[in-house]
Amino acid sequence: MKTVSVTEFRGNIKKYLDIAESEKLIIHRSKGRSFVVIPLEDEDDECLLSDKQKIAIDEALEDVANNKVHSHQDVMEETKKRFPHLFNR
């Protein structure tokens, strides 16, 4: 595992992405959190979703299983009513 600063990473991105191909790379921010860089293929798919997203997917799948579904058109109409500012761009 290798640790570098944001500045060092920024200045040598290719070098450090090549390193991340074979080992975990930690990018440390002096006044903030640190981050791990690994190839996407190596990442567990479970970690790519937040807990909120996982819960929302589970709830949606449960709705489908219980035949509680709506057409795309119905959802779009309701969304436009509730959030018209999103469609006036």
pLDDT at 18: 94
pTM for the model stands at 0.49
* Contact between residue 49 and residue 57 where contact means Cβ atoms under 8 Å apart: yes
| Tokens standing for residue 57 | 């997917």
Identify the residue with better confidence: 12 or 87: 12
pLDDT in tens, 13-58: 999 999 999 998 999 998 888 998 988 777 666 666 788 988 999 9
Residue tagged 């975990």 (tokens):
24
Q: Where are the domains of the chain?
A: 2-42, 49-87
In three-state secondary structure terms, 85 is helix
pLDDT at 31: 86
Q: Which CATH superfamily is domain 2-42 in?
A: YefM-like domain (3.40.1620.10)
